[in-house]
Structure 1
Amino acid sequence: MDADPTILSIATSVPPHRLLQGDVEMMAPELFDQRRSNIERLMPVFQNAGISQRFSCVPLDWYREPHGWQERNQLYIDHAVDLLERAASEALMKAGRQAKDIAAIVVASTTGIATPSLDALILNRLNLPSHVQRLPIFGLGCGGGVVGLGHAATLARLQTEGDVLFLAVELCGLTFRQGDMSNSNIIAAALFGDGAAAMVLGRPGSRGPRLGPAGLHTWPDSLDVMGWNVCDDGLGVIFSRDIPTIVRQELAAAIAGFLAHHKLERSDLDGFICHPGGMKVLDALEDCLDLPRGNLAAAREILREYGNMSAVTVLFVLQRMLAGGLSGRYLMSALGPGFTAAFQLIEA
């Protein structure tokens, strides 16, 4: 374990516009053509989503009008950098580190495109060293928080001097497209929120919760389960209704395979840190893990208070559980496009 990197700090940030679920529900019939969509049949999803509020980088009225890809992406860049700066500054302060102490930066995000990448855009904001190693990660969706943390931990494991800054930001709300009448877009309107998270990882020998092995399981022929369609007016969400079924029927075997690879069993775990994709997915997770309903309490709390922030959400869950006195060996997990399950072992 002394060879493992550690979590020195974690911090989060959200944009200023708080969207109450009731207000979003009231607006939904205006946004979806009742003749071309299933909005009337799907309206219960707003109450059944387990969400009381979410945060958005744009006010609720912004969603009433159509917006093009260029406008959306510029909003993504501007707000993503602001949120990352806030979260990263707080994480550095909590860790007792300065910008000069950072040897590498990893940034995970999939809700917009930036070239130069977000890690380059945040470089001067944080006054990071000009020689800092940079790794932008795109396309992992909800799995990006766990996969990105694994890559950041690998970099931290290799450091002889300096620590690693891991950042994740998602502005899921900007992907809502007024002209998209698909069921997936309606469900996304009931689920998605915006947020960012930052972690400072210490190299081996530092104190704090330890980051053990990470891994992935990608199901064959599953590219249509989750992802984005790139459209003229933005990113169109892809959600398969089969996700809860896949979780119930197949995730336990994937977890067992990952643990066996590292000579572990379920009985060696003290608990789970899970990405809350939605209420149905949380129920399916508890079923496949043989947990009592409501056992993934922190995940349900974060979903209720912040919605689904894609890659960022599981990092909010981790922060909540660490603040609650996390102790023992935990498996962190999230599901993302591919269709992929991402795993990270954490020992506190």
Structure 2
Amino acid sequence: MSQSEAKAKARELFAGRKALFDRLGGVFDNAGIDQRAIVAPVDWYAGDHGWEARNSLYLDASERLFEEAALAAIARAGLEPGDVDGVVTVSTTGIATPSLEARVGGRIGLRANVRRVPVFGLGCAGGISGLATAARLAAAEPGSRWLFVCVETCSISIRLDTDDPAALVATALFGDGAAAALVSTEGDGVGHVTGAGERLWPDTLGIMGWRVEDPGLAVIFDRAIPPFVTAELAGAVDSILGELGLQRSDIDRLCSHPGGAKVVTAIEQALELGEGSLDLERDVLRDHGNMSAPTVLFVLERLLARGLPKRTLMTAFGPGFTCSALSLERA
């Protein structure tokens, strides 16, 4: 749906909290988003949904998205589903037990002995942390082929029963999506994962995450995120690069999770990049919104289409508060 349609629908849905919408409705106009995808018909969001209904929709939608993304990635790698030795699944917007890859594995042709590593709780950092996990597992068993899939259905957690400003801001920013990749030590890949790292800041649990409440998950999305990124990102990136034997001058381009327009600007300022350097990040945000974990992989896909630089540093922020980073070299 278009952002103008989303704003009009939000004004209708938040009618019982008119003062909140009047105060914060401008975020729809300033988010740098033109359109987003959502997994349910728009009228569904006007309903009174509890945990069971929300998670049932999460399972139905996430299974479809997982299947679509996984099969596309396997095909682009020139493989068949039966060639996959292991699966890393990242998803934080619902609960699936059995996990998503177990639910769809038989349908898409994964082997019965495929290894499974489902991961919950990474939030927006999951696209990079999950890819790094798949790379480590592939490196630990040379020749094995690992499928990485991340699926997020952020829109299912839209909440209309709260005066929390974060609920309205999330409604303006988040969309739904999925992405996947194949990782192996053999074959003709488009890039080489040469290292990864994370930084977790103490006493920052309240910056980003979920509160588990009776009607469903409630977003924690602090307005302090952009200034925090501006102040802290450079030190975190330099530390991670140092552990990899690199420095910022070795990096040809960033490939960052575009959490929002202000966050993209904060990244450019923190790392002293030229204004507008993160053009692909803004393009993905414009076309898809913030899909949480898959978003940075949408940026990577566009970077691959443009031509992967010699060395790229992928970055994303997530609950914790965490910065995840991954070094990717052109094949």
* TM-score, length basis structure 1: 0.92
Q: What corresponds to 2:44 in structure 1?
A: 62
Matches of 2:151 and 2:237, distance apart in 1? 26
Matches of 2:154 and 2:83, distance apart in 1? 32
Shift of 1:158: 2.0
Give the match's secondary structure for 1:196.
Answer: strand
Aligned counterpart for 1:150 among listed residues 132, 135, 142: 132
Q: What corresponds to 1:3 in structure 2?
A: none
Q: What corresponds to 1:247 in structure 2?
A: 229
Matches of 2:69 and 2:231, distance apart in 1? 37
- Letter matched to residue 34 of structure 2: S
Shift of 1:68: 1.1
Q: What corresponds to 1:339 in structure 2?
A: 321
Contact conserved, 1:66 with 1:177, CA < 8 A, in 2?
no
Matches of 2:17 and 2:69, distance apart in 1? 43
Aligned counterpart for 1:323 among listed residues 282, 289, 305: 305
Is 1:83 matched with 2:65? Answer: yes
Matches of 1:48 and 1:207, distance apart in 2? 38
Contact conserved, 1:37 with 1:182, CA < 8 A, in 2?
no
Is 1:163 matched with 2:142? Answer: no
* TM-score, length basis structure 2: 0.97
Shift of 1:46: 0.3
Contact conserved, 1:223 with 1:339, CA < 8 A, in 2?
yes
Aligned counterpart for 2:252 among listed residues 257, 260, 270: 270
Is 1:21 matched with 2:3? Answer: yes
Q: What corresponds to 1:200 in structure 2?
A: 182
Is 1:298 matched with 2:249? Answer: no
Aligned counterpart for 1:237 among listed residues 201, 219, 228: 219
Contact conserved, 1:32 with 1:39, CA < 8 A, in 2?
yes
Q: What corresponds to 1:184 in structure 2?
A: 166
Shift of 1:289: 1.2
Aligned counterpart for 2:194 among listed residues 204, 212, 219: 212
For residues 187-218 of structure 1, the C-alpha deviation after alignment (integer angstroms, 9 at most, x for no partner) is 00001101111111122565430011111000
Is 1:130 matched with 2:112? Answer: yes
For residues 149-176 of structure 1, the C-alpha deviation after alignment (integer angstroms, 9 at most, x for no partner) is 0000011112234311000000000010
Aligned counterpart for 1:141 among listed residues 123, 143, 146: 123
After superposition, the Cα gap between the structure-2 partners of 1:99 and 1:35, relative to the gap in structure 1 and judged at 3 Å, is closer
Deviates more, 1:50-59 or 1:20-29: 20-29
Is 1:281 matched with 2:301? Answer: no
Give the match's secondary structure for 1:338.
Answer: coil
Q: What are structure 1's unaligned runs of at least 5 residues?
A: 1-18
Matches of 1:54 and 1:20, distance apart in 2? 6
For residues 46-88 of structure 1, the C-alpha deviation after alignment (integer angstroms, 9 at most, x for no partner) is 0100000000111112112221110110110111011111111
Shift of 1:36: 7.0
Matches of 1:343 and 1:37, distance apart in 2? 40
Contact conserved, 1:49 with 1:191, CA < 8 A, in 2?
yes
> What is the alpha-carbon root mean square deviation over aligned residues?
1.3
After superposition, the Cα gap between the structure-2 partners of 1:207 and 1:309, relative to the gap in structure 1 and judged at 3 Å, is closer
Number of residues paired by the alignment? 330
Give the match's secondary structure for 1:217.
Answer: strand
Give the match's secondary structure for 1:55.
Answer: coil
Contact conserved, 1:175 with 1:235, CA < 8 A, in 2?
yes
For residues 296-323 of structure 1, the C-alpha deviation after alignment (integer angstroms, 9 at most, x for no partner) is 0111000000000000100111111111
Matches of 2:143 and 2:300, distance apart in 1? 26
After superposition, the Cα gap between the structure-2 partners of 1:200 and 1:277, relative to the gap in structure 1 and judged at 3 Å, is same
More strand by share: 1
Aligned counterpart for 1:113 among listed residues 95, 100, 122: 95
Matches of 1:189 and 1:346, distance apart in 2? 33
